[in-house]
Structure formats: C-alpha cells, structure tokens
Chain A
Amino acid sequence: MAQRLDLLDPAEVARLGGIEIVAEGVVEGFLAGLHRSPFRGFSVEFTEHRAYQAGDELKYLDWRILGRSDRLFVKQFEEETNLRSMILVDASRSMAWQGTPERLTKRAYADRLAAALALILLRQRDATGLVTFDEQVRQLIPARVKTGQWTRIVRGLLDTPDGQGTAAHAALQRLTALLARRGMVVLISDLLFDRELALAALRYLRHRGHQVVVFHLMDPAEVELSGPPEVRFKDPESAVSVVVRPRELARAYADTVRREIAAWRKACRRHGIAYHHIQTDMPFGLALRLLT
C-alpha cells in the first residue's frame, strides 16, 4: 500500500521535489482520506437522486420519495465554487529559520502548506489568491478560479524572497482594502509581531465578514529551548540579542511560550478567529485537517 504523503514527515516529503509535486502529493493523499469535500460553498444546487447506500448521511435522504414510493433515495448536490479565499503567507526573515538542518524552515513549511491549501480550494473551484508579506506586501495574486491560478500561486511563493522585519499589521491593513468581497482569509505566520496591532487588523477583517483562520507556525526548537551551555541568541529581524544559558532558562521559556500561545488562542477565540498552532514537524495532512 502506497504511503499517503500528507501524513509523512514534512521534511521527508519536501525532499521528493518542488512545491508543486509536494503539494499535489499531499492533496491527493489528503482528499483520499476524506469522504466529502472539506469546504462547502455558500450555495449548492441539486443535481440528481441516487439509491441510498449504507454509510450515506440520513440528512440527504429524500423523505418525500420515501413517502411516495417507499424507496430510499438520497439527494446529490453540485457545489458552487463561489468561495473566495486568500492565503496570507508571512515571508519575514524570522520565517526563514529552522531549528535543525533536518527540518524545514518555517517559510518552506508555510509555502508548501499554502500551495496544498490553494490546490484543494482550486480543485473545488474556489477562487483562491495569495499574499506574501514581510514589512510590506511582496506578492499579491488576486483570488481567481481560472486555469493556471495554482501555478501562479506557486510561482508567487517561489518569487517571494526572505524578507526583513515583520510589520504584519501594516500588511494586513492593506489587505483589508484589497479584500472587498467576503471570503476566507488564511494567515500562515510565526506571529512574531505585535499581537495587539495584528489582532486589530484581523478583527477588522472579521468585521468585514471574512472567515479568518490563523496558523501559528513554530519550529519545535522554538517551543523547547536547547543549545550550548551559554549562548547569545540574536533576533534575525531586530538584531536584538540576549545571552542565556538554555538549560537554566528552558523551563521559564517553555512557560512563556505556552502563555503566548494561550494568549493568541484566547484573543482569536474572543473575536471569532480560528486559531491553530502547528509546528514544522507536523505532517501537512494533519495541518490541513485542522481546517475541516
């Protein structure tokens, strides 16, 4: 039995090829594991009946046919692809970091996750676009459903270099002007920026009727502190550095990270924003499943 790529270690999967190959492999495996479409549009149209089969959901049972002919038929619908999705990928410098060489950088993981997500959305004919940003918006691919959109999205990811600092709120505020129609906004970021400012922008999107999903992406090494006995850790974005003894500070650091995640989760929940904490060693399929 062939292994499903969506459930394999992301680093191993990434070694199979470029973003397109990885994303397609992941999506194939991911969709094969689903019984229905992961995303449902705002409107569906009835197409035909078919005979009931064991396992079909009873809510699709056509009760009127059952009453008239005493036979079990279920209704089948054709999903309408009018969902507009924008995938926001943080391309700041902090995303180009990996705890160990064996793992993907956060940016690489985010690119592949974004490509896979875009492919799923486009396959179900949802208009999907891409925004990459650091201190400013680097790539903007409007949401479309036409052929070649996914290729453009992938190219947009590939063409976005590693940025400098992160001023996510500025990029997000600009996006609020660009996303006029309601849709789904998926933010993939390490969230290493000012939480209140970023939340203000996300809140605004939410008020505009967008469905907002936040993937808080971290490297496992960012969750559990380790390293030499004494080391100077330097923030690649701000150049701020601090000398610590990882073994001494590990517990306090882990507590701080837990509190930070909890704070993001709590703040997002309060504003109706879906928040998911993922790590770069998490199989892509599991990350995608968080959206279902």
Chain B
Amino acid sequence: MSFIHPLALLGLAAAAIPALLHLLQRRIPPQLDFPPVRYLSAAERESARRLKLRHLLLLILRTALIVVIVLAAARPLVPLRGGGAHQPTAAVIILDNSPSSGAIVDGGLVLDRLRVAARSSLARTTSADRVWLMLCDGVLRGGTREALLVTIDSTHPGWLRLDLVRAVERASRMVNAQPLVGREVHVVSDGQRTALASSRATVPSGVRVLALAPERGAPNRGIAAVTVSEGAAVIELSGSMLDNGGTPQPVPVTIRIGAGRNRGEIAARGLATPGREGTEGATRAAVTVSLPAQSLAPGWWIGEAALEPDELRADDRRPFAWRVAPPAKVMAAPSAGSFVAAALEVLQAGRHIIDGRDVVIGGGDVPTSPHAIVQPPDDPALVGQANRALASRGVPWRWGQLATPGVLSSTDLTVLNGVPVVRRYRIEGAGGGDQGADAVVATVNSEPWLVRSGRVVVLGSRLDTAWTALPATPGFVPFIDALVNRIVIGEAEVASAEGAPRVEFRTRGTDTIGATVFGPDARESDLTPASTALVTAALGGKDRTSVLSPDRFAAEGFSGTRRADASGILLVLALLLAAAELGVATRTR
C-alpha cells in the first residue's frame, strides 16, 4: 500500500490523543459530599465490568476513528488486480524494430504485431506517468503519449541490431532514477535468441520487466558478409534453417558488380550449402564465387550479393566493395633486415608486389623514394641522425627513448593484435607538427608503434625477432603486404558497419582511401526465438521479469502499480466508527 499524501500520516500521532486524554483526565477529581455513597458503591460494583468494557471499547473506537481519518487524509492506494488507475510510473517501452522485425511470420509483418503490443502498453499510461520509447537505435525518446503513439505508428523495420540485454539494463537504470512509485520496462520484441545471448541484464530491485513472449520463428537465410580476395568473393551465409529438420537445400547466390547503370548485371552465380542446424557452426555457410577480375579496371569497385527472397528481405542482399589495383613496386634497403627481404620475396612470388622503387623499406635510414617505410636504427647512436632525416621529410614523428616491452594492438591491422614486442623506441610527436587523427595504426601499451605521416610509415621496432616476435608469426607476410600495398599509400581496410545496405567511400583530398560497407548485423538473420526461460534469465531473472502472452502483456502492464484510492471506504468506515462511538457513549450513560 502507498499513499498520495504520505505526509498526512504524521497525523497518526494523533491516535495517541484518546489514550493521553484518558491519562490526563486522571487528575484529582473535585470532591463533593453525597450521603448515599452506599448506593453509589453498590451501583459501581454492579457496573464495574460493564464500565471497564465500555471504556476499553470507547478507547479503541476513538483511536481507530482517528487512525482511519488520518489514513483517509493520506489517501491510501491499494493494489487492484482488475481495473483502476495506477500510480505514477516511470516506464520505458522497448520496441524492437531491428531488421528481424521485418520478417513475415504467419502472413503478417512481425513489427505490426509488436506495434499493437506497444500501443496497448502506451495506451495505459496517464499524464502522471513518465514514459520513454526506445527503438533499435537505443535512443530513449521522451514525450507525450500522443507523440509517442505517432512515433510507434511511423516506425518501420530498422537496420540496427538491438541488444535486448543492454537495452533493458539502460532502460531499467533510467526508470530506476525517476522519483516515481512505479518503475517498469516493457520489452516488445520478437525475442530473437541472438538478441539475448550476450549476457544477463542487471535490473535494479523495484523495476519490473514485462517481456512479450516470443512467438514462433521462421526459416531464413541471409548474407552475413562478403569479402573479396584473390579475385573471388567469399560469401558467408547465416540464418535459421528451420526447414523441418530435413537436409538443407543449396542456396543460390547471385553476384552483381558495378554501380549506376551497370548495377544489376549478373556477374557470377554460386551455390552455398548450409549445414544442418544443431551442429556447431552449421548455421553458417560460405561460398566462394570467382569474379571477372581480369576485365575490371583499377580502382574501387562495388558489388552486391543476393539470395532468393525469403521471409526476411532485409538480409537477402548485401553490398560489398573492393579495390582493384596493380601490385606495388617495392624494394627493401639492405638495412631492412632479412625477415623483410624474405617476406618481399614471398609477396613477389605471389604477384602481390613487383620489384621497383615506389615503396622502399629502410632500416635506420630514411629512403628518399616516393613512399618509405622506416625502421629505427639498430645502433642507438644513430637515432638522432634518423630523427633529423625524418624531420627533413616533414614527418612530425620522432623516435624517443627505449620504451617498455608490450603487446601490439591495432584495429586496422588485426594480424598484429597480441604479438609481443620486446624492444621498441617510443614514437613521439615532433613539436609543432600535425600528426593527424588517423596517423597511429598500431600501438604498444597505448603508445604509438606504427604511425603514418604522408607517404612515410614509421615503425617503433625493427622487424627482427630480436625486437618483436612479429617476423615469426604467420601474419608477418600479410602484414608486409598490407603495409606496402595499403598502409603506406594511406588506404584503409574495407570496413563494415550496421545500417541500410550501402557503400560509403572515405576520401582524403581527391583520393579514395577506404570504404565502409553497411548492412544488417548477421545475427539478425537468425530468427530462432528464445525460450521463455532464456528471456526470463537474460532480462533480470524470475524476481523481476515476467514473460507474457500478448493478452496478458496488455493486462499486466502497470498492474504492479495499479491502485485504487481507498479514502472513500475509509471515510465510510470512519462514519461507522463514529456512529458506533456515539452509540456506545450515549447508550451506556
């Protein structure tokens, strides 16, 4: 039970008034002569028990009367299972309009079903509530009920994946911070298993999580990723293979290359054969489709991989981008070291590079070639001279003191991650120079280890096993390949991001230095619904989370705080108590 005016409960202290008056009235009464005291004594003896009962009854009635009146003034709210207004509540409605909500299940759009549930939740709110709406972008939208209803009605399947666990955590923290009596999070989602698998949400006590029970899923296949390498496109498939447990059928994949008018021309086809669900990795499949690379002119190209349409159209197409370029002309200075020379030989054999002086890898000296990759000198005495050479080429970096060993870390060159470095120079910014935002390619102990400035790449360690274990790792040759073909000319790796399928190129000046391919998260393709137990466990546990069918979801919203004002009943009770008190007080006189 809670109260609208809890301060009025201070008046409960007045309940002590009857008892206090009873005690205060125990003063010395006036004394009067009265001859027939013997009659009085006899009458009192006969009435003693009745009078004691009457006094006790009157004390109880008067105390109860005050208590009831004070409670009525505080306007208590009692829980109701049925109708009735609920207490002011802070609520977040999470409408999961992630790409999977665009699936067609049982002939209807999943999002349409979710909209109905979200509207039913929102319709129960009152002006005293504070309500936010969270969509798949994770943004908490406040506003009036009408405004939020408009938002719900205008919502379409989005392109961003919604991690329900994190969304519920954010929402519960938000409502828990509100100074309102009720705190609820309504999760209106298709309940994808993949949306809940990340972890377990930490929900503060007092926050109620109501989740719409997942309904049955649908078989679906989507393109998880497309990468181009060695003149072929590697197409990864993902999805839920709910095909009645039979043998998965091969999936035709179509590759289209080109943009503008050329887009839509089928460049290649292939068949991907998914594995059976239930075996590890079975839901992922890949097919390699050769591209007509010979006919493509150098430059950036975009393409699109497509599947046959199914229940979820959002993941049936995925664009991809790659750069067609001639092999770099590379040579290594004698001081570059034997490991570099060996790697270049491998790359030359694989026609990744050809012999030339466009890119020179130096070992302590700074080459004057158009593009230079510079290692620190082996002799510390030569560091100053090397720094002056860097400065003369306008490189705003310099080698500093020997720094502590560490482990390599890079977002652009993932092959470097985790490789130990035992000896390195700290790469420091030269005073007054502009290092640029994307100049640092790799770090050790959060300090620059591989930096690029213009056409010069500076390494913090020599590419030798006495300095770093990198030359002994399988990623060394790919690292050198990326270094000479991409990093040194300022080109970034093709990145992927969530969003509507498209390709965005990154440019520096007039040069295109990279591309970002947007598409839905591959996990959205798996339409397998989570079990009720998983939803309950992932979204806060049994104590805080209720997974409800659509009918119950509509009824249970705000029921935790649904209250009726009991002051009317209490006033009636007060009247009855007053009448009883009057009756007892007058009848026995």
Which residues of A approach B to under 8 Å, CB–CB? 94, 97, 190, 192, 218, 222, 225, 227-228, 230-238, 240-244, 247-253, 255-257, 260
B40 x A253 contact (CB < 8 A): yes
Give the chain B neighbours of A192 by CB distance below 8 A: 35-36, 38
B43 x A253 contact (CB < 8 A): yes
Q: How far is the CB of A230 from chain B (nearest CB, A)?
A: 4
Q: How many angstroms from the CA of A288 to the CA of B298 in the assembled complex?
A: 149
With contacts A248-B54, A250-B589, A252-B46 taken as known, whether A242 is within 8 angstroms of B32 at the C-beta atoms is no
Residues B2-41 near A (CB distance < 8 A): 25, 28-41
Q: How far is the CB of A181 from chain B (nearest CB, A)?
A: 34
**Of all chain A residues, which has the CB nearest B55?**
A248
Give the chain B neighbours of A250 by CB distance below 8 A: 589
A256 x B29 contact (CB < 8 A): no
**Of all chain A residues, which has the CB nearest B41?**
A242
Q: How many angstroms from the CA of A242 to the CA of B39 in the assembled complex?
A: 11
Give the chain B neighbours of A235 by CB distance below 8 A: 33-35, 37-38
B30 x A232 contact (CB < 8 A): yes
8 of the cross-chain contacts (CB-CB < 8 Å) are: A97-B35, A190-B35, A230-B29, A231-B29, A233-B37, A247-B589, A248-B54, A249-B40
**Of all chain B residues, which has the CB nearest A93?**
B35
CB of B177 within 8 Å of the partner chain: no
Give the chain A neighbours of B25 by CB distance below 8 A: 230
Q: How many angstroms from the CA of A210 to the CA of B39 in the assembled complex?
A: 30
A256 x B43 contact (CB < 8 A): yes
Residues B36-60 near A (CB distance < 8 A): 36-44, 46-47, 51, 54
Q: How many angstroms from the CA of A228 to the CA of B29 in the assembled complex?
A: 9
Which residues of B approach A to under 8 Å, CB–CB? 25, 28-44, 46-47, 51, 54, 588-589
Q: How many angstroms from the CA of A264 to the CA of B588 in the assembled complex?
A: 28
Q: How many angstroms from the CA of A232 to the CA of B37 in the assembled complex?
A: 10
Given B28, B35, B38, B44, which contacts A249 in the complex, CB threshold below 8 Å? B44
A248 x B40 contact (CB < 8 A): no
Q: How many angstroms from the CA of A218 to the CA of B31 in the assembled complex?
A: 21
Q: How far is the CB of B38 from chain A (nearest CB, A)?
A: 7
With contacts A228-B29, A234-B31, A241-B31 taken as known, whether A257 is within 8 angstroms of B36 at the C-beta atoms is yes
Given A222, A231, A251, A252, which contacts B35 in the complex, CB threshold below 8 Å? A222
Q: How many angstroms from the CA of A227 to the CA of B33 in the assembled complex?
A: 11
Q: How many angstroms from the CA of A236 to the CA of B36 in the assembled complex?
A: 9
Give the chain A neighbours of B43 by CB distance below 8 A: 249, 252-253, 255-256
A237 x B30 contact (CB < 8 A): no
A244-B44, A256-B40, A256-B42 known, 17 other contacts, Cβ within 8 Å: A94-B35, A190-B36, A222-B34, A222-B39, A227-B32, A231-B31, A234-B31, A234-B34, A235-B33, A236-B35, A237-B35, A242-B40, A247-B589, A248-B589, A252-B44, A253-B40, A260-B39
Q: How far is the CB of B151 from chain A (nearest CB, A)?
A: 70
A234 x B36 contact (CB < 8 A): no
Give the chain A neighbours of B40 by CB distance below 8 A: 225, 233, 242, 244, 249, 253, 256
B30 x A242 contact (CB < 8 A): no
The 7 A-B residue pairs with the shortest CB-CB distance, nearest first, are A94-B35, A233-B34, A235-B37, A252-B43, A252-B47, A253-B43, A256-B43
B37 x A238 contact (CB < 8 A): yes
Given A190, A231, A236, which contacts B30 in the complex, CB threshold below 8 Å? A231
Q: How far is the CB of B149 from chain A (nearest CB, A)?
A: 66
Q: How far is the CB of B513 from chain A (nearest CB, A)?
A: 101
Q: How far is the CB of B193 from chain A (nearest CB, A)?
A: 78
Give the chain A neighbours of B47 by CB distance below 8 A: 248-249, 252
